[in-house]
Amino acid sequence: MGRMGRHLLGLAVAGLTLATGGSAFAELGQPAPWEWTLQQSGSPVMDNIVWFHNFLFVLITVITLFVLALLVIVVVKFNARANPVPSRTTHNTLIEVVWTLVPVLILVGIAVPSFRLLFLQLDIPKADLTVKATGKQWYWSYAYPDNGKFEFDSLMAQDKQPRLLGVDNEMVVPVNKVIRVQTTGADVIHAFALPAFGVKIDAIPGRLNETWFKATKTGMYYGQCSELCGKDHAFMPIAIRVVNDQEFASWVEAAKKKYASGGTSTYASAAGPTQ
Ligand SMILES: [Cu+2]
């Protein structure tokens, strides 16, 4: 085998390793090496986002090819050599109506599913559970007001996989339940983003933002702070563990004890002097 052949074989092996390694990594709810598509969806909102993305992709591809075809026709058919005496046409009512109406119809066709998606994201359904996520420099705190009012910090863990996404204490939620997420910032603006659930919302000091998700499969899901918030912005991941109802109930019991003395900042002011 020549040098070239060895190189090609090496490349093929590397490609295969990447492909298989990539698929092994392509777990639900986290980025994969060499990823060029959206992350696998884990919620109804993300299903809708994926559909809308694919719909627009087909639409813009067709439009681009159509415009390219028109340009090629013009270049070939109407260049000075092929068409020495140009037409003096300035108006054509039919064509003008068509090129006004067709784009309008296309835009309406985009606007309808776009607004449907927007309302799906912003009309928060009746929540089964509320979790408050507070962005801090540079970690997240999660409070569970419905489950015994405990709160805990979630910091990136150096020794955990996936690298830069693993945390010490994950946010835990039950599967197939509507989770209302309230976000705020304790110091500067952060953003709570979880691609697999189609969630991205700012966490702003002095303000309470709301969003929701319903995880349809159990497992680990990862996201990151998505508003540049200081030097460790890249090191405050969001890790959500989706479990069944039983596991969630027992986690709540354990968490209540574990975080009993934890952060009181969220509840101190709400409870007031009666606490
Ligand atoms: Cu940040």
- Residue range 10-21: average pLDDT? 45
Q: What is the 178 CA–ligand 1 centroid distance (Å)?
A: 26
Q: What integer pLDDT is reported at residue 262 of this predicted model?
A: 55
Q: What is the 228 CA–ligand 1 centroid distance (Å)?
A: 5
Q: Let me know: does 43 contact 214? Beta carbons within 8 Å.
A: yes
Q: What is the 27 CA–ligand 1 centroid distance (Å)?
A: 24
Q: What is the 207 CA–ligand 1 centroid distance (Å)?
A: 17
Q: What integer pLDDT is reported at residue 271 of this predicted model?
A: 43
Q: What is the 10 CA–ligand 1 centroid distance (Å)?
A: 40
Q: What is the 234 CA–ligand 1 centroid distance (Å)?
A: 7
Q: What integer pLDDT is reported at residue 229 of this predicted model?
A: 97
Above 70 in pLDDT, residue 31? Answer: yes
Q: What is the 136 CA–ligand 1 centroid distance (Å)?
A: 8
What percent of the chain has pLDDT above 90?
Answer: 77
Give the C-alpha separation, 13 to 147, whole Å: 51
Q: What is the 169 CA–ligand 1 centroid distance (Å)?
A: 18
Q: What is the 242 CA–ligand 1 centroid distance (Å)?
A: 23
Nearest to 227 by CA among 200, 196, 195: 200
Q: What integer pLDDT is reported at residue 19 of this predicted model?
A: 44
Q: What integer pLDDT is reported at residue 59 of this predicted model?
A: 96
Above 70 in pLDDT, residue 64? Answer: yes
Q: What is the 185 CA–ligand 1 centroid distance (Å)?
A: 10
Above 80 in pLDDT, residue 12? Answer: no
Mean pLDDT, the chain, rounded, equals 88
Q: What is the 198 CA–ligand 1 centroid distance (Å)?
A: 18
Above 90 in pLDDT, residue 17? Answer: no
Q: What is the 229 CA–ligand 1 centroid distance (Å)?
A: 4
Above 70 in pLDDT, residue 92? Answer: yes
| 3-state DSSP of the chain | CCHHHHHHHHHHHHHHHHHHHHHHHCCCCCCCCCCCCCCCCCCHHHHHHHHHHHHHHHHHHHHHHHHHHHHHHHHHHCCCCCCCCCCCCCCCHHHHHHHHHHHHHHHHHHHHHHHHHHHHHHCCCCCCEEEEEEEECCEEEEEECCCCCEEEEECECCCCCCCCCCECCCEEEECCCCEEEEEEECCCCEEEEEHHHCEEEEECECCCEEEEECCCCCEEEEEEECCCCCCCHHHCEEEEEEECHHHHHHHHHHHHHHCCCCCCHHHHHHHHHHC
What percent of the chain has pLDDT above 70?
Answer: 85
Q: What is the 61 CA–ligand 1 centroid distance (Å)?
A: 35
Q: What integer pLDDT is reported at residue 148 of this predicted model?
A: 87
Q: What is the 241 CA–ligand 1 centroid distance (Å)?
A: 21
Q: What integer pLDDT is reported at residue 57 of this predicted model?
A: 96
Give the C-alpha separation, 197 to 154, whole Å: 19
- Residue range 150-159: average pLDDT? 93
Q: What is the 157 CA–ligand 1 centroid distance (Å)?
A: 16
Above 90 in pLDDT, residue 24? Answer: no
Q: What integer pLDDT is reported at residue 2 of this predicted model?
A: 54
Q: What is the 164 CA–ligand 1 centroid distance (Å)?
A: 13
Q: What integer pLDDT is reported at residue 260 of this predicted model?
A: 81
Q: What integer pLDDT is reported at residue 5 of this predicted model?
A: 55
Domains of the chain from N-terminus onward: 44-83+91-122 (no CATH), 129-259 (2.60.40.420)
